[in-house]
Amino acid sequence: MCVIAIVIVGMAACEKRDATGIVTNVDTLSKYSVDVTTTKPTTIEGPELVLPVGSRIQVAKDKYSIDVTLPEGYGFLFRDSTPNLASMKTLPVRTFGTYTCVCSGKGSSCQVLYQEQAGGFGCLHQSCSGSCTGSFVTIQFQQIVGVIKLNDKEIIIPKNLPFTPASLTQGAKRLFFDIPEVQEKIAAQYELMYRFVPKPDFRSVDPEHQSLKDYVFVRAQIYGVDFYLLGPAEFSKRTDLFEVYTTKASCKCGAASGACSMGSGGFLGWKVYYCSGGCNGCQLTITKSAPPSIHLPDNSLPLKPARADLPRNF
């Protein structure tokens, strides 16, 4: 961490900001064709991840790779098969990644494409005789599946307050909730919520097909990943502290087309609920008597983190 800080300070005088606000690191342009620090969220084609503001993007001179360094407070969640991700005790995180493109056609290759104004990068398909596929990996060639917030390592239960969401690939939430560190913190939160009331039988709860009677959904977050806990019905009386929702729930895409479904993960006797899909605006939709419906965003809004402690008595 000290080395990174020294590099950032040392390069501060060698940065150039253009009229659009894009910051160029001029000292390294002899090695890279582009070296910028982003001033807006940047989308990665392929994994469909979103990089936060302040990410450093360096495009190689030959345009066959893009190096990405995340700003302080963020990390890349990666898939690690040795050991298996679910067996790791600590959260698997890196702060540096490389994006390349692979061509399916023989004897040809894919170059990368970075568009500063469009706020994203991907593959230059015209340089390939077949189809191009983007690949985003760590320096150890582990597949990157998410961008998470390292500072939000404790459970956050926001109440009408903004927060900054993580960005995960489709299916990565299931992997995220397999991490023992995450499971233990969520289980501890559940133990706190149910210390005065009986623990629910999650086998009898089907939020997609039946209304909740004795429980409510409580919106929560850890490492920037948005999810829902099943809270005691008494929580509905404390709307000053909790963002709670009742009755049936399902996941739907917003205006975009695509697949979007409710997922859940069970561990240590507890269970979490979340939405996951390949469309923009994949949301948890919970039907209520008034208003008719309410849409809950699934890591789609650039919001600010906020913390709220659970009460000692309901």
The stretch 250-254 carries a mean pLDDT of 69
pLDDT tens digits for range 92-149: 888 999 999 989 988 778 999 998 777 788 898 887 888 898 899 998 888 999 999 9
Confidence (pLDDT) at 187: 94
Tokens 């020294």 belong to residue: 6
Of 184, 192, 182, 146, the C-alpha closest to 165 is 146
Considering just the CA atoms, what is the radius of gyration of the chain in Å? 21
Residue with the bigger pLDDT between 48 and 168: it is: 168
**Residue 153, C-beta contacts closer than 8 angstroms, at least 6 positions apart:** 185, 222, 223
Q: What is the overall mean pLDDT for the chain?
A: 74
The stretch 253-267 carries a mean pLDDT of 73
pTM of the complete model: 0.75
Is 274 within 8 Å of 227 (Cβ atoms)? yes
Residue 147 three-state SS: strand
Q: Strands 66-69 and 96-103: what pairing?
A: antiparallel
